[in-house]
Structure formats: C-alpha cells, structure tokens
Amino acid sequence: MVAPPYDIEAVRRDFPILEQKVNGQALVYLDSAASSQRPRAVIDAVRRHYETSHANVHRGAHELSVRATEAYEDARACVAAHIGAEDAAEIVFVRGTTEAINLVAGSLGKAHIGPGDEILLTKMEHHSNLVPWQLLAERTGATLRFVDVSPEGRLVLDDYARMLSERTRLVGVTHISNSLGVINPVREIAALAHEAGAFCLVDGAQAAPHLALDMGALGCDFYAFSGHKMCGPTGIGVLWARRAILEEMPPYQGGGEMIASVTLAGSTWAAVPHKFEAGTPNIAGAVGLGAAIRYLNAIGLDAIRRYETELLGYALERLGEIEGLRIYGPTDERVGVLSFTYLDVHAHDLATILDQRGIAIRAGHHCNQPLMEHLGVDATARASLYLYSTFQEVDALCEALHLAGEIFCRSA
C-alpha cells in the first residue's frame, strides 16, 4: 500500500499560532525542541474541559467531578496505550520531564542508593537528567560517572559497557540528545544495565514528540517525557515505570490525593499511580495531552517521521552548502534538532539577526553546559524541526544565515 502524501498545508492550518508575522516577517518557528506549538484540537480540548467538565478529580460526589475524573483517567489510558504500557497504573502524571526525573531521584534514590553506589549518566544529558542526580549524590554519598561522547556525537558504547559494574545502581540516558539530535540505542543500553543489575531511566523529552514508543520493547525501567514538546500543554508530563517498581518506591511528595488513610500518628499510601500524585493534579493539562496524542496519531507517527526525515535530509544538505557553518551531531540516526555554529558569529547574535527575519531559534548552551564544554564551544545556535516545519522555512533559515554572514563580514 502506498502511503498518502503528507499534507503539510493541512497540518499547518491546524496550528493557529503559525499564521502570524513576527518583526514584519512570516513567522518561521524553528524552536520546537524547546517547546512545540499546539494544534487547535488541543486548545479546544482544554477549553472544552474548562467550559463543560471541570471540577476536582477523585472526589466524585457530584456529576462534574465524575466527568473530570473520567477525562483525567481517560488521558492516562490514552498515554498508556500510546507508549505501549502494560497498565494505565504505570503512568504517573507530573509537571514534565524534569519533575519525572526528580521523582525517581528522590524516591528510588532514598530507598535504593547509598554511599559507594554509582549512578551512570552520559556526557550528553540535559541538566534535568544531571542536576537531580548531583543532588542525590550529595545527599547519599553516591558517585556519578559519565559515559563519553565521540567526536561525531554518539555515545561511546564500549566506554559504557566498561563502566558498568556491580556498584552501578542506575543508568540514566537521554533517548535523543537535545543538542546533537542523535538517537541513542536505549534498548541495548537498558539491556546492559539490567545485566549489571542496575535500573535504567530514559529521558524521552526529545524522543516522545518524534518516535513511536513501546515500553515493552524498549526494556527500560523508567521513561520520562513532557507534554509541551509534543503538541500538548505546558505543565503536564509523564513518568512511566514498571508497576512492580512503582509499588516498591516510597512516595515523592505528601499531601492529599496520594494517601489511603491519614491519622495524626501516620498515614498509608494510595495505590499507584496516585501514590505519586499528591495534591490536585493538572487535570486540564492531562486532557490536553490526551488530545495531543490523538492528534499526532490521527496524522500517524510513521507519516510524521517520514516527512521529518525528508525535511531533515533537505536541511542537512542546504545547511551543508553554507561555507563556515558547522553542524554538531551525526548525519544519520538523528532527528531534526540541528545545533550549529557559523563563522565567528556568536549564537546569540545569530538569534537576534534571525529574529529580525521572523525566524525563531534557540541560542546558548541548551541546558547542556557539560556537553558544550566537551564539544569545545561556548554556545551553539539550534534550529529544530517538527511536523509543521516546511522546506521553505529551511530556505528562509539559509537566507537569513547568509544575511548574518554579510553583516559580520562588512569589516572582516
């Protein structure tokens, strides 16, 4: 069967924010790796929730509360199905990837990690998969170790295998680097972690927007991602973990919603996942995330991936033609997160020039300071592509880069 052509114009019409001018130019949004935009389906779902169904959840004494609870739990089931979880109880709603990782570091860390234990991370982790472990190491006396990154921008797997030992308690790795765009072989990494008797946590913030996920096949123990990078609302994210592990873990925060019973002498905990969801959750956010997942699946993750791969190929080719431009990360097994430097124009200056052309990119260290140091740069510019990005936008980026070159070469 031949796949129907990808209707980019129809996709773009779904995103109202894209139809605007910025600094007098048509908006070219190339910062989706920082936060994607939302389709009308998501905006409407959140609005509809507030207009028709909002109340607090799991207090079901009245009709609206029942509706809100159903919508919230329906979103959980939707996430579970989307990532191939065995059970909706394995989906913990959190604020985002950062909170998901802090939850694991705080809870699992307290129960399972002590002095002399090792947490094995990589040199390409986002600060959100580094700083929580630094805090845990400070608290527990555990040691952090880091798998090297090759000059091409891939994890050095031999290095990884060598560093695993019986002291390794947890391996934390990003599925896709937010600076290099490289897709890491997390299945292999998780399998090796398990052979060494360690847990494996995967930061899926950059992968969940682009890849079809199957927790069963991936084989890790924890998977964290954010709604706002995959067309969902801000302030909602997911921690997936195997049910047996979640049941073993102590609570992360205390409060309402996460208890079974409370006395002044002590409390008992609700069943998973509620044990980890203290306080009133982001109900509308969960509803919006459910809508985002349905939206992406209606287009088809495979169709999106095919289109993005074609667009990425074009972007690599066009950017590769620009003299003085250097792209970081490999050319294959990657997504359209393109970090680059151009001549001696600092990334921040590039971002200002591009912004005047209506082009939104990220500039700086991308919450990746150790990786930037490893690459020997202070900062890079980063253009990131998503399902609504176009070939014309890649052309506009290249044109604006030529302009930046002209501005900076006046006196050189």
Largest CA distance in the chain: 74
Is position 38 an interface residue for other proteins (rule: CB under 8 A)? no
Interaction between residue 263 and other proteins (CB under 8 A): no
β-partners of residue 173 are: 202
Alpha-carbon distance of 323 to 161, in angstroms, equals: 38
Residue 61 touches other proteins, criterion: CB under 8 A:
no
Q: In angstroms, give the least distance from the CB of 385 to other proteins.
A: 21
Amino acid identity for residue 105 in this structure: A
Q: For the CB of residue 396, give the shortest distance to other proteins in the complex, in Å.
A: 10
Q: Which of 356, 361, 371, 397 binds other proteins (CB under 8 A)?
A: 356
The catalytically annotated residue of 78, 231, 367, 398 is 367
Among 4, 51, 332, 411, binds other proteins (CB under 8 A): 411
Paired tokens of 144: 């952090």
Alpha carbons 225 and 214: distance in angstroms, whole number: 14
342 touching other proteins, by CB under 8 A: no
Q: Is 370 in the site for other proteins (CB under 8 A)?
A: no
- Tell me: does residue 399 bind other proteins (CB under 8 A): yes
The single residue among 34, 212, 245, 403 that binds other proteins, judged by CB under 8 A, is 403
408 lies in the binding site for other proteins (CB under 8 A): yes
Phi-psi region of 245 (alpha: psi -120 to 50; beta: other; left: phi over 0): alpha
Report the residue from 353, 361, 385, 387 that binds other proteins according to the rule CB under 8 A: 353
**Nearest of 333, 317, 334 to residue 325 by alpha carbon:** 317
Which of 242, 243, 272 is closest to 257 using CA atoms?
272
> Helices (H), strands (E): how many in the chain?
14, 17
If one asks whether residue 410 binds other proteins (CB under 8 A), the answer comes out as: yes
- Residue 363 lies near other proteins (rule: CB under 8 A): yes
- Contact range with other proteins by CB under 8 A, out of 3-11, 52-60, 80-88, 349-357: 349-357
Which segments of 171-262 does DSSP mark as H helices, in order?
Answer: 186-195, 215-218, 243-248
Hey, which residues does 345 pair with through a beta bridge? 342
Does 280 interact with other proteins (rule: CB under 8 A)?
no
Question: CB 170 → other proteins: shortest distance, Å?
Answer: 28
Contact 95, 285 (CB under 8 A): no
Among candidate residues 220, 218, 186, the one with its CA nearest the CA of residue 333: 186
- CA dihedral of residues 52, 54, 233, 222 (deg, nearest 10): -130
Query: What's the token pair of residue 169?
Result: 């308690």
Measured from the CB of residue 18, what is the shortest distance to other proteins in angstroms?
22
Smallest distance from the beta carbon of 151 to other proteins, in angstroms? Answer: 22
Q: Which stretch binds other proteins (CB under 8 A): 52-60, 61-69, 140-148, 358-366?
A: 358-366
Nearer to other proteins by C-beta: 39 or 405? 405
Q: With binding defined as CB under 8 A, does residue 352 bind other proteins? A: yes
d(CA 379, CA 67): 48
Question: In the complex with other proteins, which residue's Cβ is closer, 20 or 352?
Answer: 352
Q: What CA–CA distance (Å, rounded) separates 276 from 257?
A: 9
Residue 344 in the binding site for other proteins (CB under 8 A) = yes
Query: Residue 375: how many CA atoms within 13 Å on its side-chain side?
Result: 23
Residue 70 or residue 406: which is nearer to other proteins going by CB? 406
Among 347, 359, 375, 385, the residue binding other proteins under the rule CB under 8 A is 347
Rounded distance between C-alpha atoms, residue 66 and residue 78, angstroms: 18
317 lies in the site for other proteins, by CB under 8 A: no
Count of residues making up the chain: 412
Under the criterion CB under 8 A, does residue 162 sit at the interface with other proteins? no
| Catalytic-residue membership of 200 | no
Residues near other proteins (CB under 8 A) are: 344-349, 352-353, 356, 363-365, 369, 372, 378-379, 395, 399, 402-403, 406-408, 410-412
Active site residues: 367
